[in-house]
Amino acid sequence: MKPVATTRSAAGIPTGLLAVWWIVASEIVIFGGLLAAYLMYRLSHDAWAGHAANTNTAIGTVNTFVLLTSSLFAVLAHQAAEKGDGKKAARFLLFTIGGALCFLMIKGYEWNYEISHGMTITTNTFWSFYYTAAGIHASHVIAGAIIMAVVAKDAAKGLELQRVELIGIYWHFVDVVWIFLFPLLYIAK
C-alpha cells in the first residue's frame, strides 16, 4: 500500500521525474568534479597528449556509436510506454540492455589490451584518470542495465510504465557522460 504522499504532485512535476532529476543532478556534480580535476591536470601537463595517443580512438568511436544506438532504443521504449504498449517498451529496453552489454564487452577487450601492453592504472596520472573516469562510468552502465532489466520485467506485464521514461532519462545521462569522456580521453591528443 502506497502512502498518499506518493500520489501527490503539488509542484506539477511527476514525483518520479523529480527524483530522477535529483539523482542525475548529483551525478553531474560527481562527474563534473572528476572531469574538472582531469582538465586542470591536462592543461598543466603537456606530456599527457603523448599518453593519450595510446588510447584506441577507433574502439572509442565504436563504443560511442553503441551507446548512442542504445539511447535511441531507450527513446523508442519511452514512446511505446507512452502509448501504453508495455510489451513493446520491454522489448526496446532489452535492446538497450544489449547495447549496454555490447559496450561493456568492447570496453573489457580494450582494457585487457591496454593492461597487457603495460598501460595500467598506476602507469601515470593520465592512465589513472583514464581508468578511474571510465571505470566509474562503466559502473553506471552496469547499474543502469540492471535497473532496466527490473523495469522491463514489470513493463512487459504492463506495470509501472512511467518508469520506462525515468530509466530512459538516466540512460541518456550515462550516454552524455560518455560523450564528454570520449573527446577528453580519446580524441584530444
Partner 1 sequence: MAELIPTQPDPGHEDDHHHGEQSFVSKYLLSTDHKVIAMQYMFTGMAMALIGGFMAYAFRMQLAFPGMDVPFFGIVTPANYVALVTNHGAIMIFWVAMPVLIAAFGNYLIPLMVGCDDMVFPKINRLSYQVFLVSAIVLLSSFFVEGGGFGGAWTTYPPLSAKAEYNLTPLGSSLFIGAVGIEFIAFLLGGINFITTAMNSRAPGMKLYDIPMVIWMIVIASILFMVSVGPLLAGAIMLIFDQQLHTAFYDPNRGGDPVLWQHLFWFFGHPEVYVVLLPAVGITAEIITVFSRKKLFAYRTVLNTAIGTGVLSFCVWAHHQFISGIDPRMANVFTLTTLLISIPIAEMMFVYIATLYGGAIRLTTPMLWALAFIFEFLIGGVTGIFLGASGADIYMHDTYFVLAHFHYTFFPIAIIGTYAGVTYWFPKMFGKMMSDRLGKLHFWGTIIPFNFIFIPLFFLGAGGQHRRIYDFQNFPALAGEGMQDLRILATVSLVVMLGFQVVFFYNFIISLMRGEKAGKNPWKANTLEWTAESPPPHGNWKVLPTVYRGPYEYSVPGREKDYWPQDEPN
Q: Site size for partner 1, by CB under 8 A? A: 45
Q: Could you tell me the CA-to-CA distances from 133 to 36, 52, 85, 138, 159 in Å, in that order? A: 11, 14, 37, 9, 35
Selected from 39, 58, 82, 112, the binder of partner 1 by CB under 8 A is 82
Q: How far is the CB of 66 from partner 1 (least distance, A)?
A: 25
Distance CA 115, CA 92 (A): 34
Spell out the residues 6+ positions from residue 107 whose beta carbon is closer than 8 angstroms to its own: 63, 134, 138
Selected from 99, 154, 165, 176, the binder of partner 1 by CB under 8 A is 165
Distance CA 119, CA 127 (A): 7
Q: How far is the CB of 81 from partner 1 (least distance, A)?
A: 8
For partner 1, the closer CB: 33 or 61 = 33
Question: Grid coordinates standing for 117?
Answer: 601492453
Enumerate binding residues for partner 1 (CB under 8 A). Answer: 1, 3-11, 13-15, 17-19, 22-23, 25-34, 36-37, 40-41, 45, 82, 121-122, 124-125, 128-129, 132, 136, 161-162, 165
